[in-house]
Structures are given as structure tokens and as C-alpha cells.
Structure 1
Amino acid sequence: MSETDGQDLMEENTRVPRLGEIGLENFPPYLMNRIMGRYNAVLRDEMAHLGLTTPKMRTLAVLSVIDGILIRELAIYAVVETSTLSRALDALERDGMVRRVSDKEDSRAVRIHLTEKGRETHEMLWPHLAGVYRQMFKGISDAEQRAFVATLQTILKNVRKHPI
């Protein structure tokens, strides 16, 4: 958050409660970090078994939906720093899971494509991803899930820096 964003927030609310008043269990950023930390921890063993790290897994997941994406866009969708993504792509390419192709319209730009091996690896991991997803939403109705996702999409629009 920039200084201006913080000032805007202070102007909208004359008194913002302190974290101690809100409590960690009522502070959404804390809850989201804990949830994603558990999500990644639960998947870590299966990812390691497939030779994947979290950045590699996120890369394969994004490419399974949006193949041939530009590297700069892949970094945004995979929520991975560019330097970390670069190392992950080097390893995935070395392992035959992705291939780089120069963009036809901009020779400086590179698109990343999922290979058959990369797709197969993602398909092996998918049942584990889906299982953790089901566990996360156990006891939550379809309507509550849709409302939750809609809220997350609105939050993302409020905080994002990129149009994607």
C-alpha cells in the first residue's frame, strides 16, 4: 500500500482499529496467509515427489489453463517474483515440462508453452490439488462458495497493480 492509499484510508475512517483490537483471527490478510501456508504445506510432499516446488507447480497450473502466455504475464498469474520464475522455468525446461518460444509479434518477448510431459505432471498433481480444495470448502454451501469467490475477486480488483 502506498502512502497515498494509507492517507485515503485514514481520511475515510477517522480511527482505524489496531491489530490487537481486531485480533489475528478477524484479520483477513492473516487468515489468507495461514490458509495458503497450510495449502502449500499439505501439497509439499506430493510436489516434491514429482520434482516440483511451489513456483513450478503454480507455473504448470497456470499453463494448464493459459498455454503460450508471455513470461511477464505468467509471473503475475503464478504470483511469483520474476527472478524466482526464471529459475523455475529453467528447471522446468531442463526437465522437459515447458518450452520457450519467441513471440511472433515481438522478438524480444518469450511465450511459455506446456509440453506433454508438463501436462502429464500437472495431471498427476491435480487430484491432490482438487482434494485440498474440497477439504478447504468442506461444510460450505455452493452459494457461500460463490459469494466468497466473488468477494475475493472484488478484493483482488481493489489491490491489484496489473489489469490481469
Structure 2
Amino acid sequence: MQDDLPKPDETLGEMGLYSFAPYLMNRIMGRYNADLQGDLRALGLSTAKMRTLAVLAVVPGLTINELSVYAVTEQSTMSRTLESLEQAGLVRRAGRATDGRVREIYLTEAGRAEFDRAWPAMYAGYRRMFAGIPGEERRAFVATLQKILRNVRRHEI
């Protein structure tokens, strides 16, 4: 039921930024990423590299297009990021078993170790984000985000 959504003729000014969920989500993630950058820089990682390592730690064997979507990174940025990670020995590319023309990307042991070094900073940011929010509320929020993601994925190209 969407009766409580703003009316289609209501302007953003009338609604207000703090009632506009896309603004809040961007602002939250912008702050999370900015806070994390210092920790990552100390580890020699960029946000794009951290996201790539994190995604591959959980979902190995993605193509560059799939990895770009999961890591929320432009494909051109992902290409440069993967080149750098591959040169550093943190990822490897392999032909897909069913179609050798398709290249899948995997973490190497060194890549897993690098992600394991970055994880504490990522987790600390996550804990700060949910400080003072009870587990039940956090779980409901994450479930709502998953529903929103399904809604917007229906419109992906």
C-alpha cells in the first residue's frame, strides 16, 4: 500500500530532503565511504578496490559487468580497478567453464588476505551506522532495503 507516498504533484521542496529516501541513502553512503577512505588509504586501497574485494569475497566468479553492478562502480572504473588488482596479484581472471570467451574474476589468496585486512574498518563503520538501533529495527530496515533493491532492479537494463 503506497497511500502515504507524497502526491505526484508535490515538489521536492515541499517534501523536503529529509523525507526523500534517495537523498538520505546517498547521504548515508557518502558519509560511510568518506569515513572509510582514511582507513582504506592507510591500507593502500581505494573505495573501488575495497568494494571489488568485498564483493568477490562473497560472490566469486563474476564477470566484469556483474562485478560493476554489485560494486556500484562504472564499468570503465571497474576495468582500471581490476587491472590494478590483477597487477598486485589480488585477483585473477579465468575463462568460464561453459564458455571460455567469458572471463570470471576471483580473489587470489593474497586478495582474500587484503580483504581480511580491510574488513575490520568496514565493520567498524557498519557498527557506527547502527549504533543505538535495536537488532529488530536493524533487521526490519535491511529487509526494507532488500525490497527496495528488488523494486529498482526490475528497471535495470
Structure 1 pair 13/142, CA: closer, same or farther in 2 (3 Å)? closer
**Matched AA of 1:112:** I
Deviation, 1:14, is 6.3
Which aligned pairs between 1:119-134 and structure 2 lie closer than 5 A?
Answer: 119-134=112-127
Give the deviation of 1:79 after TM superposition. 1.1
1:107 match: secondary structure: strand
Structure 1 residue 15, shift from structure 2 partner:
3.9
Aligned length: 152
- Note the residue ranges of structure 1 that are not aligned, 5 or more in a row: 1-11
Bigger drift between 71-80 and 143-152 goes to 71-80
SS where residue 108 of structure 1 aligns?
strand
2:62 to 60, 69, 73: 69
Q: In structure 2, which of residues 13, 28, 49 is the aligned counterpart of residue 20 of structure 1?
A: 13
- TM-score, scaled relative to structure 1: 0.87
Identity %: 54
- 1:94 maps to 87
* SS of residue matched to 1:69: coil
Structure 2-normalised TM-score?
A: 0.90
State the SS of the aligned residue for 1:109.
strand
1:6-28 Cα shifts (integer Å, max 9, x gaps): xxxxxx98643111111111111
Mark the runs of 5 or more structure 2 residues left unpaired by the alignment. none
Amino acid at match of 2:114: T
- CA displacement at 1:70 relative to structure 2: 2.1
> Please, what is the CA RMSD of the aligned residues?
1.8
